[in-house]
Amino acid sequence: MSRAFVKEDDAGEAPIIPPRAALPPGTLNYVTPSGLEQLHHELMELEEERSRAEMNREDEANRTRQLTILKGQISALQARIATAKVIEPQSQSPNEIKFGATVTLKTLKGKNAGQERTFTIVGVDEASVAQGKIAFVAPIAKAVIGAKLGQVLLLRFGSNEEEVQVAKISY
């Protein structure tokens, strides 16, 4: 029987490997100590997942695809870990916003007058808006880095402007 019209599996398609969080070209990969720990934990989990996938002999096409994705993710993560520059938050000036700072801003003028927001400035791989962790390359982080306790800043959120005061800095 001719196999000319038999569809082979789609293992020939290149799998898409999800990219890591964006780090602008030429930007150092700053991380907090806990951020580096998270990266190592993620690497360990990916390596365990790869080991499980290597042992799975039931669906060879899916196994090959999964292993390709995992190897790509592991490689990208290893490169990110290799370039990590750990910044100890406690080594920063307590009265100035730097990497690793937990910052509270009080809105003085603007749409949200009277509101306070608190966030921590972290590495790109640690960032999570839901957890109040903002990447140091994010516009709001760039706008506040270098500000001192009590300083008033003008922030732009799209077409809105807010005047905020640095109410608290902690590390």
DSSP string, 90-143: GGS-TTB--TT-EEEEEEEESTTTT-EEEEEEE-TTT-BGGGTEEETTSHHHHH
And the tokens for 28?
């150092």
Per-residue pLDDT of the chain (171 residues; tens, 9 = 90+): 455 554 455 446 777 887 888 899 899 999 999 999 999 999 999 999 999 999 888 888 788 899 999 999 999 999 999 999 999 988 888 899 999 999 999 999 988 889 999 999 999 999 999 999 999 999 999 999 999 999 999 999 888 899 999 999 999
Q: Where do you find CATH 3.10.50.30 in the chain?
A: 89-170
Neighbours of 148 (CB within 10 A): 11
In the chain, where does the domain assigned CATH 1.10.287 lie? 28-86
Selected from 1.10.287, 1.10.1060, 2.120.10, 2.30.30, the CATH number assigned to the domain covering 28-86 reads: 1.10.287
Q: How many Cβ atoms sit within 10 Å of the Cβ of residue 93? A: 12
CA angle 14–25–47, rounded 5-degree value: 45
Task: Specify the CATH architecture of the domain 89-170.
Answer: Roll (3.10)
Tell me if residue 19 falls in helix, strand or coil: coil
